[in-house]
Amino acid sequence: MGGIDIPTTSMRTTDLLNSSSIFWRNPNDKCFDNAILMYDAKLVLDENAVYKRFNKIQIKISEIIFFYDDQFEIGDVGEKSRAVSMREKSQEEMQKVNIITPIIANSFYDISGKFYGLFKKKSHDKFIPLFDASILEIQKNQDRWAKKNIKIAYNFLGISSRYIEALTFEE
């Protein structure tokens, strides 16, 4: 968990991570080309168990499975009306999807949410934005499987297309 630099208030985290260049407020801090710089970051082991804190840390984008941000609302009125107009012109329908990630370190994620557009087209992006999203972590501890809800702010989630192992579309 932590914060990142976003160049404008109308930009969502997904827009930034899907762009060809990542914004760095201070380019002299940049080390890896394929990383983002996080500030006031915490490595959290369990919902409230902070293992370590970092003033700043670089995270490789290729290693991000999913992310969520805490922006309740973005964009101005004009931008929102343009988005609605574009969606109507392209006749994009809302779809529900259920996604399963690969097993990593004895757990995998069962993610569900809604999106607009064609999933095949969105799958070419690095991250796919989902709204009304929910995440279940399925963990294997010794010989038992356990489910754990992951809390996300405002039910928004960006999932890496690289970590989608299986998916199904809901009616």
pLDDT by residue (tens digit) across 58-70? 888 888 888 877 6
Q: For domain 3-170, which CATH number applies: 2.30.30.100, 1.25.40.10, 3.10.450.50, 3.60.15.10?
A: 2.30.30.100
- Cα gap 160→128, rounded to integer Å: 6
- Cα gap 154→171, rounded to integer Å: 23
Each residue's pLDDT tens digit, 75-90: 555 555 655 666 676 6
- CA 109 from chain centre, in angstroms, equals 13
- Cα gap 20→42, rounded to integer Å: 26
Q: Per-residue b/e over 28-38, b at no fewer than 16 CB within 10 Å?
A: eeeeeeebbbb
- Identify residue 26 by its one-letter amino acid code: N
- Cα gap 60→37, rounded to integer Å: 9
Answering whether pTM is above 0.85, one says: no
